[in-house]
Amino acid sequence: MLGAGRQALERADWESARSAFAAALGAGGAADARDGLAEAQWFLGRVPEAIALREQVFEEHVRAGRCAEAARSAVWVAHQHLLSGRGSAARGWLARSERVMAGQPLCAGHGWVAVEAARQAATVAEQATAAAHALEVARAIGDGDLEVLAISLLGCAEVRAGRWGPGLRLLEEAMAAATAGRVTDLHTLGEAYCNLVLGCSCAGEWTQAAEWCEHVESFARGSAIKPLFGACRTVHADLLIAGGRWADGEAALQEALAVDAEQLPEVSAPTVASLAELRVQQGRLREAAQLLAGREEHPAVLRALALLRLADGHPRQAAVLLERGLRAAPDDAVSAGGLLSPLVHARLALGDVPGARTAADELATLGAATGIRLLAARA
């Protein structure tokens, strides 16, 4: 039954995989059956159930002394919490993975812990350091999945730091390795795809981003990986909106939200934020507020919330939010560029002309230093 479950996962038949792994678990299967069932449940959109199963898998691996497997399970759980905006839970599970690997000889577990440390890093420099360590471990032990994800995260760090040329080359290297068969895990492949599309978008390389969006959407449809499709449609929508095609962008966002609602509602915050920003631009402030209600503490919606506060006549609240975001990412050029532009307007609305000029100068300096056309355009 375990074999049937794995075969079903390989052909993206999630319901058959769920049935096979559930049967294996009922017949006395342990961690492997539970782990496969968690995978199937996740792709079926049953995220809480998948997380609960992987938490049990972690405990089983710990009891059996399988530290590397336990660490990877803990890292997976941490990442799910991170995607859903539950930062405290994500940090807690990262700490559990670190504790279980303490004092262990070199193995993949150390690399996966470093991957999660990179995802959760407070600064771009910390992300780059952790990703580089994960890459070192991956190459030392010959783990393809780990190597691809480490290269991809290192590329993300380079783009975020404003070094978009080297960053995109790393992201493309990761994607080339993934599509050449170095990757066996669909989560790794999906994250590498998403990182590349987001990297192109953040760098303002719209043509490359659009090309990869089409490629990824085709892959997601063909492989029945709806969560990946939803994430990619969000980026594609942002490209359409940036190009003035608001109606097409809105349709893409609605499609992405429909996929997220069906599959993974917990990870829909970036899509919700993009639609809320569009609603603000359209002057539909009440709808924007409804979209953001209950998500105010999710990092992905901070800019959208600030734009809403600015549009509805609360520039001081907008400035506070934007300044908080800038403090949270001191060396993130991409994030700073997205926050400084509305901060100029918020400070002007408050009559703080010197403060607005300072923010505008910082934005212009970022655009010139990084060569990212999107930042230069905002300046």
Could you tell me how far CA 54 lies from the centroid of its own chain?
Answer: 20
Burial of 222 from C-beta contacts in 10 A (0-12 / 13-18 / 19+)? exposed
Note the residue count of the chain.
379
Percentages (nearest 5) of helix, strand, coil residues in the chain: 85, 0, 15
The Cα 82–Cα 286 span in angstroms is: 28
Q: CATH topology for 1-100?
A: 1.25.40
| Contact residues for 147 (Cβ-Cβ < 8 A; gap 6+) | 135, 138, 139, 177, 182
**Contact predicate 268/276, CB 8 Å:** no
CA torsion, points 93, 99, 105, 108, in degrees to nearest 10?
0
Q: Which pair of structure tokens corresponds to residue 145?
A: 């999945």
How far apart are the C-alpha atoms of 41 and 178, rounded to whole Å? 24
State CA 132 to chain mean position distance. Answer: 19
pLDDT value of residue 116: 97
Q: Tell me the pLDDT of the chain (379 aa) as tens digits.
A: 788 888 888 888 889 999 999 988 877 768 889 999 999 998 887 888 999 999 999 999 999 999 999 999 999 999 999 988 888 999 999 999 999 999 999 999 999 999 999 999 999 999 999 999 999 999 999 999 999 999 999 999 999 999 999 999 999 999 888 878 778 887 888 888 888 888 888 887 877 877 777 777 676 666 666 666 566 677 778 777 877 888 888 888 888 787 665 555 566 788 899 999 999 999 999 999 999 998 888 888 999 999 999 999 999 999 999 999 999 888 999 899 999 999 999 999 999 999 999 999 999 998 888 877 666 666 5
Q: Give the span between the Cα atoms of 193 and 213, in whole angstroms.
A: 9
Using CB atoms within 10 A of its CB, is residue 294 exposed (0-12), middle (13-18) or buried (19+)?
A: exposed
Residues 6+ apart with CB under 8 A from 174: 148, 149, 151, 152, 155, 192, 195, 196
Q: Quick one: DSSP state of residue 44?
A: T
- With tokens 């056309």, the residue in question is 373
Q: For the whole model, what pTM was predicted?
A: 0.87
Locate the domains of the chain by residue range: 1-100, 121-203, 205-267, 313-379
Q: What are all long-range contacts of 287-295, with beta carbons under 8 Å and residues at least 24 apart?
A: 295/85, 295/269
